[in-house]
């Protein structure tokens, strides 16, 4: 399994997914297919895609049948064309049938995230900006979806609330303003990887700059306003001293405008919450 994934944690997730799907037993398979029947299943790309999760796909069947044998022909991150076969699995026919939906759901979902991320990354090539994910992930799937973003060429923002300080609109309102929130946040400096604050206009930006946070998030600003904000940040501090991040309303159609405005990071919740599952099939045949 990829070193970017915790094998034990992934197996526990897969077991829980299988338990949810199987319930008290796969009555269709158990009544129609012999327990001694062996079969081979081939994964087939039905559309252009970036592969992500192929080892997880195989692991589903290994959990159901320890004799499972797999041949992996394409690795995560590879771009596949329709008809390409990235893997095939030989196992108990019952295991293949019972695990098919969980395995395919994951492979289609993660490959969809990786495919969309690759499109965003390609859209800003040459600008120096980086595409980041967000915490807008499916509950229970965060580690896997963030892995798929990295497979697609993006970077991970905070993995959880403990990793960094990110002061957002509601924090600012409840803390009593930008200055009050940033002053209070200094208490986390020893355990937070960085301190970041969200601003929505130039007045808030100037208030934030007085406290020299590590990152300033320019939220829901137009690309032209982002350009002005980046210029002010650079005038305030040496380049890269304070990072800038654009977020809110980022799409494939406008992402390059924001990248060319000079930000360091562009975060897009769409990478994980709006990525469509890609079309992949799993076709089986019996073995004598």
**Set 219, 245, 256, 264: catalytic member:** 219
Question: Rounded to whole angstroms, what are the CA distances from 2 to 151, 171, 252?
Answer: 11, 37, 29
Token duo for residue 18: 């299988």
Please tell me the distance from the alpha carbon of residue 139 to that of residue 137, in angstroms, as a whole number: 6
Using an 8 Å Cβ cutoff, are 130 and 263 in contact?
A: no
Token duo for residue 186: 């200094």
| Active-site residue flag, 168 | yes
Token duo for residue 283: 């076709």
**Set 69, 122, 168, 193: catalytic member:** 168
In the chain, alpha helices (H): 7-22, 27-32, 54-64, 93-123, 142-151, 169-175, 178-185, 202-209, 223-236, 255-260, 270-273
Q: Decide: helix, strand or coil at residue 97.
A: helix
Please tell me the distance from the alpha carbon of residue 255 to that of residue 235, in angstroms, as a whole number: 24
Please tell me the distance from the alpha carbon of residue 229 to that of residue 48, in angstroms, as a whole number: 38
| Sequence-ordered list of residues with C-beta below 8 angstroms from that of 43, at least 6 positions apart, any chain | 54, 57, 85, 86, 87, 88, 89, 107, 280, 281, 282
| Active-site residue flag, 198 | yes
**Set 38, 119, 135, 136: catalytic member:** 136
Question: Rounded to whole angstroms, what are the CA distances from 180 to 167, 207, 209, 233, 243?
Answer: 11, 10, 13, 20, 21
| Active-site residue flag, 234 | no
**Set 101, 159, 228, 243: catalytic member:** 101
Residues in the chain: 288
Nearest to 7 by CA among 49, 50, 58, 46: 58
**Set 26, 59, 65, 198: catalytic member:** 198
| Active-site residue flag, 101 | yes
| Active-site residue flag, 84 | no
Please tell me the distance from the alpha carbon of residue 256 to that of residue 274, in angstroms, as a whole number: 19
Question: Which active-site residues does the annotation give?
Answer: 101, 136, 168, 198, 219
């Amino acid at each position: 399994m990829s070193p970017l994934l915790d094998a034990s944690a992934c197996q526990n997730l897969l077991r829980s997914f299988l338990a949810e799907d199987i319930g008290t037993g796969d009555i269709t398979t158990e009544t129609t297919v012999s327990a001694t029947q062996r079969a081979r299943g081939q994964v087939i790309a039905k559309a252009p895609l970036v592969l992500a999760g192929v080892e997880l796909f195989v692991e589903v069947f290994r959990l159901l049948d320890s004799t499972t044998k797999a041949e992996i022909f394409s690795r995560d991150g590879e771009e596949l064309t329709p008809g390409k076969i990235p893997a095939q699995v030989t196992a108990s026919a019952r295991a293949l049938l019972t695990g098919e939906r969980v395995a395919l759901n994951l492979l289609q979902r993660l490959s969809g995230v990786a495919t969309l991320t690759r499109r965003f990354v390609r859209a800003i090539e040459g600008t120096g900006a980086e595409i980041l994910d967000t915490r807008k992930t499916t509950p229970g799937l965060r580690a896997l979806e963030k892995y798929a973003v990295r497979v697609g060429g993006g970077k991970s923002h905070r993995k959880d609330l403990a990793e960094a300080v990110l002061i957002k609109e509601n924090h600012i309102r409840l803390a009593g303003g930008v200055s009050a929130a940033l002053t209070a946040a200094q208490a986390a400096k020893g355990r937070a990887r960085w301190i970041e604050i969200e601003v929505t206009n130039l007045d808030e930006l100037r208030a934030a700059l007085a406290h020299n946070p590590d990152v300033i998030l320019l939220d829901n600003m137009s690309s032209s306003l982002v350009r002005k904000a980046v210029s002010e940040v650079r005038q305030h501090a040496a380049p890269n001293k304070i990072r800038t991040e654009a977020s809110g309303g980022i799409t494939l159609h406008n992402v390059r405008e924001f990248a060319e405005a000079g930000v360091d990071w562009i975060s897009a919740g769409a990478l994980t919450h709006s990525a469509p599952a890609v079309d992949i099939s799993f076709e089986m045949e019996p073995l004598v």
